[in-house]
């Protein structure tokens, strides 16, 4: 009986600690509520992955889900990574029979209280001028830049060349290459 009670208290202690931390943060900036809305608390980047690249391939796509719990829309405008010369935000559109990539000059909007999924055949982060091939199993650091939230440090997991998102539409399916 005593042991059960003790366990219950430990659980609520964790919850109590969390609210104490929140109170402390609020106390630190009582007149500026916006100041506590940090990038890390508003923007969540999950399911981050990239596809293995062949030797000599100079660009690779990176995919992820970006959620925005803030009250204002934000925009993913770019980023950086040690493995590539530059990072661009791309979309893919069908032009007739051909799938074309286009850079989103103004970035990708992440709506307030919503999320955007970057996946093959759709929006993606493009790692341009790769300095080395991306190898399956590797972890690649990626810094993302948001217009509102600033920079967020993330990591990509490199998956084998055939890897696809669970529900992607793959425009080149069934067509021979080259
Ligand atoms: Cu691209």
Dist. CA 40–CA 18, nearest whole Å: 16
pLDDT at 36: 53
According to the model, what pLDDT value does residue 55 have? 87
Residue bearing the bigger pLDDT, 18 or 108: 108
pLDDT digits (tens, 9 = 90+) for 94-147: 889 998 999 999 999 999 999 999 999 999 999 999 999 999 999 999 999 999
The CATH code of the domain at 42-159 is: 2.60.40.1890
For the residues 22-34, what does the mean pLDDT come to?
45
Q: What is the pLDDT of residue 25?
A: 46
Is the pLDDT confidence value at 169 over 50?
A: no
Q: Which of 123, 119, 98 is nearest to 168 (CA)?
A: 119
CA dist 13 and 176 (Å) reads 60
Which of 87, 62, 67, 56 is closest to 138 using CA atoms?
A: 62
42 CA from centroid of ligand 1 (Å): 26
How many angstroms separate the CA atoms of 13 and 51, rounded?
42
Q: Kindly write down the DSSP assignment for every residue of 78-97, as one continuous string.
A: EEE-TTEEEEEEEEEEEETT
The pTM of the whole model exceeds 0.85: no
Q: How far is the CA of 44 from the centre of ligand 1 (A)?
A: 22
CA of 103 to the centre of ligand 1 (A): 7
């Amino acid at each position: 009986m005593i042991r059960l009670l003790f366990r219950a208290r430990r659980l609520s202690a964790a919850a109590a600690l969390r609210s104490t931390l929140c109170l402390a943060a609020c106390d630190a900036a009582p007149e500026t509520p916006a100041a506590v809305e940090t990038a890390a608390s508003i923007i969540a980047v999950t399911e981050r992955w990239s596809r293995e690249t062949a030797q000599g391939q100079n660009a690779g796509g990176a995919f992820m889900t970006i959620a925005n719990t803030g009250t204002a829309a934000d925009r993913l405008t770019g980023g950086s990574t040690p493995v590539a010369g530059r990072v661009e935000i791309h979309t893919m559109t069908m032009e007739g029979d051909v799938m074309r990539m286009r850079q989103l000059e103004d970035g990708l909007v992440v709506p307030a209280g919503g999320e955007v999924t970057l996946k093959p055949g759709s929006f993606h982060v493009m790692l341009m001028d790769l300095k080395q091939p991306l190898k399956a199993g590797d972890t690649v650091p990626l810094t993302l830049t948001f217009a509102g939230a600033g920079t967020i440090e993330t990591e990509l997991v490199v998956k084998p060349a055939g890897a696809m998102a669970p529900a992607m539409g793959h425009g080149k399916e069934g067509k021979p290459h080259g």
